[in-house]
Amino acid sequence: MNTRAANAYRKGDLESAPKHVVLERLFDRFARDLSQAREAITAKDIQKKAALLDHALRIVGEFSAALDHAAAPELCANLAALYQYVIERIGDANTKLEIAPLDEAVTLMGEIGDAFKAVHAR
């Protein structure tokens, strides 16, 4: 299958998926991005590290932008603060070329992802 066809398939699949499935995929992709960024940092592959961290940051940005503060102000404020902290940890890993901040970010986002998955598993 060529790349254009594969991308078109993925786009159609994503657009037709239920919202909770899209969220689960984003949490999974975030974890995969940071896992691969850890490997890139270890291998001193700065270009790959930058691309992976940029993608992970865009995912967190989308989560933050999707918060409905009017519907749940306290929960959204807490999540927004947590997302900001995750962004800062990724920034620390990026500038200091350290993997410990990535581990912390993966753990925090994993806990949020697990909570989303648990809610939709009911």
Residue 1 pLDDT class (50, 70, 90 cuts): low
Q: pLDDT for 53-97, tens place per residue?
A: 999 999 999 999 999 999 999 999 999 999 999 999 999 999 999
pLDDT score, position 16: 55
Helix (H) or strand (E) holding 57: helix 46-65
CA distance 98 to 83: 19
3-state secondary structure of 85: helix
- pLDDT above 60: residue 6: no
Q: Residue 62: its pLDDT value, please?
A: 95
Residue 86, SS3 per DSSP: helix
Q: For the residues 87-111, what does the mean pLDDT come to? A: 97
Long-range contacts of 108-113, Cβ-Cβ distance < 8 Å, separation of 24 or more: 108/82, 109/27, 109/30, 109/31, 109/60, 110/27, 110/31, 112/27, 112/79, 112/82, 113/23, 113/24, 113/27, 113/28, 113/30, 113/31
Question: How confident is the prediction for the chain on average, in pLDDT?
Answer: 89
The pTM score is: 0.84
pLDDT attached to residue 15: 58
Query: 19 vs 45, which has greater pLDDT?
Result: 45
- Work out the average pLDDT over 110-118: 91
| Lookup: tokens for 77 | 């404020």
Closest CA to 90 of 39, 49, 45: 49
Query: What CATH homologous superfamily does 18-121 map to?
Result: Flagellar protein FliS (1.20.120.340)
DSSP per-residue codes, 1-47: --HHHHHHHHHHHHHHS-HHHHHHHHHHHHHHHHHHHHHHHHTT-HH
Of 6 and 23, the structure prediction assigns the larger pLDDT to: 23
pLDDT at 26 over 60: yes
